[in-house]
Structure 1
Amino acid sequence: MELRHLRYFTVLAEELHFGRAARRLSISQPPLSVAIRQLEESVGARLFERNSKAVRLTPAGDALRLSAQTLLRQAEEAALEARDVSKGSAGRLRIGFVGAMLYRGLPQALTAFQAAHPAVRVSLSELNSGQQITELLHDRMDVGFVHTSRMPEELEQVLLLSEPFMVCMPASHRLARRRTVGLASLRDQPFVLFSREASPDYHERILSICAGAGFRPEVRHEVRHWLSVVSLVSQGMGVALVPSALQHAALRGAVFRPLEEEVAGSDAYCVWRSGPDNAVVQNFLRLVQKAVQA
């Protein structure tokens, strides 16, 4: 049974006249008769009663008519969906992100993307950089936003932004009234740090920045999310070096000050699987880069 046979059948079922049905189908009557006979042989039942005066559906033909219309509609919808997916206007998009991306334009990019592509199903997962790379490699995620440039060869990446680190401290801290803060003044301060397990790159970056200023920070608390870092600082549990985007978290009790020294910045990368271009992913990447750079 072919879709062509079903299409011929439904037109003939509507017209109940071989001549009119053939004209609608832009074919001659003999191919239509052959197709109907082939369909009847495939089904194993007569679908039409026909003589020189009339064509009528048999009970079997009447039963097949509704099912055939449903199958043809589903086939058309499947073809439309396939075309939309190929253009990036339909499908699914599974996104992983580190928490700081919530303050770097990701929500704005998602809003713009969903408005432009309402048929794309978007799902979000907050994961650390290592977890995102694993999910991408196992094809359980389509796009990731990470803090590391060390990528397996199966993945592609683009640098989205590089921003400075800032000192995050309790509002009651003795250094909070300064316009800028030198690293040396943090030498004896308790630190809240992103854990090595959650993000080894960030952990080592902050230790390296402090080492460049001649000291190793006294790490009192290690957490797995940037908002947890800022939250602990806001409650007087220590100080931290955080990406400047975190100042937009607006947690009461925490203040942010620029460093006096120039140090290596905080980098955010967008990463996805190598291979044939995924139009949904490419459309999203273009919007993300606009939102982040705005």
Structure 2
Amino acid sequence: MEFRHLRCFMALADELHFGRAAQRLAMSQPPLSVAIQQLEASVGARLFERDSKGVRLTPAGEAFRPGALALLDGAEQACALAREVQAGEVGRLRLGFVGSTLHHGLSHWLQAFQARHPRVEVVVVELNSQDQIDALLKDELDLALIHTDRLPPGLTSQPLYAEPFLACLPAAHPAAEAAEITLASLADHPFILFSRKGSPDYHARIIEICRAHGFYPRLQHEGRHWLSVVSLVAQGLGVSIVPAAFARAGIPGVVFKRLTEALEPSAVFAAWRREGDGVLREQFLAAWRIGA
């Protein structure tokens, strides 16, 4: 049984006239008659009565009709859904993000995307950069927002935005009232840094920034998330250098100060697997470019 047979059956069942049914199907009558005969042979029952009075559905044909219609409707719905998925109108996007993006407009970005694509389910999870890279490799994420573009084979990325680094100090720090401070003035303070395991590239970069300005930071604590780093600073356990987005996090007990040194900014990248369907990913990144 083929779907073309079912379409021929439905046209003839509606019209009860071979000529009109053939015209409706944009075909001649002989191929229509052959298709009906093939369908009846496949079903194993006579579906139409044909005599001088015209064409009528048999009881078997009447019983067959609802199922045939359901099959055709189901096939059309399946085709429509496939087209919608291919066009990115329907689907599921698994998105990972680092905490700084939450304070750089990620929620507005998500809202803009959902407004344009209401039938796309977006699942978001906060992970540090290394955990997101691992999740991409395991096909557990479709898109990752991370702090590094040093990626293993099979992954690729593009830059999203960059922001300056700021000194992060306890509110009681002597320099809390200063407009800006030098990086070197933090040399004698215990440092709280992002975990080397959580983001090896970022951890090494902060160390290198300090070394380039004359000192090696005295590491006191590490956090697996930037908000943990800022919270530890707020507890008076040390100082840090963090992306500027965290100045908008609203954590009490901490202040952020501009650095007099010209530092390469903190960058955020979108990363994904080279292979695989990228329609939803590209639509999501387009929403970012519109809102950026």
The question of a shared fold, defined as TM-score above 0.5 by the shorter chain, is answered with yes
Which amino acid is the alignment partner of residue 288 of structure 1?
A: W
Scaled by the length of structure 1, the TM-score of the pair is: 0.91
- Is the contact made by 1:95 and 1:143 (CA closer than 8 Å) also made in structure 2? yes
Is the counterpart of residue 254 in structure 1 residue 288 in structure 2?
no
Q: CA deviation at 1:150?
A: 1.0
Q: CA deviation at 1:241?
A: 0.9
Is the counterpart of residue 108 in structure 1 residue 108 in structure 2?
yes
Is the counterpart of residue 146 in structure 1 residue 130 in structure 2?
no
Provide the C-alpha distance between the structure 1 equivalents of 2:163 and 2:22, rounded to a whole number of angstroms.
Answer: 68
Task: Name the SS of the counterpart of 2:180 in structure 1.
Answer: coil
Q: CA deviation at 1:277?
A: 6.3
Long gaps (5+) in structure 2: none
- Is the contact made by 1:105 and 1:288 (CA closer than 8 Å) also made in structure 2? no
Provide the C-alpha distance between the structure 2 equivalents of 1:115 and 1:198, rounded to a whole number of angstroms.
Answer: 33
- Which whole-Å deviations, capped at 9, do the CAs of 1:247-289 have from their partners, x for residues lacking one? 1111122211111211232111111222476222222222223
- Partner residue in 2 for 1:167: 167
Provide the C-alpha distance between the structure 2 equivalents of 1:117 and 1:194, rounded to a whole number of angstroms.
Answer: 35
- Partner residue in 2 for 1:71: 71
- Partner residue in 2 for 1:23: 23
Provide the C-alpha distance between the structure 2 equivalents of 1:124 and 1:61, rounded to a whole number of angstroms.
Answer: 51
Q: Which runs of 4+ in 1 moved over 4 A?
A: none
Provide the C-alpha distance between the structure 2 equivalents of 1:196 and 1:162, rounded to a whole number of angstroms.
Answer: 21
Provide the C-alpha distance between the structure 2 equivalents of 1:68 and 1:268, rounded to a whole number of angstroms.
Answer: 54
Sort the Cα spacing of 1:160 and 1:21 in 2 relative to 1 into closer, same or farther, 3 A. same
- Partner residue in 1 for 2:92: 92
Task: Name the SS of the counterpart of 1:168 in structure 2.
Answer: strand
Provide the C-alpha distance between the structure 2 equivalents of 1:161 and 1:96, rounded to a whole number of angstroms.
Answer: 16
- Partner residue in 1 for 2:241: 241
Output aligned runs, 1:178-193, within 5 Å.
178-193=178-193
The number of residue pairs the alignment matches comes to: 292
- Which whole-Å deviations, capped at 9, do the CAs of 1:113-139 have from their partners, x for residues lacking one? 111122222221222222222332333
Provide the C-alpha distance between the structure 2 equivalents of 1:42 and 1:70, rounded to a whole number of angstroms.
Answer: 18
- Is the contact made by 1:46 and 1:61 (CA closer than 8 Å) also made in structure 2? yes
CA RMSD of aligned residues (A): 2.0
- Partner residue in 1 for 2:209: 209
Scaled by the length of structure 2, the TM-score of the pair is: 0.91
- Is the contact made by 1:165 and 1:265 (CA closer than 8 Å) also made in structure 2? yes
Q: CA deviation at 1:244?
A: 0.5
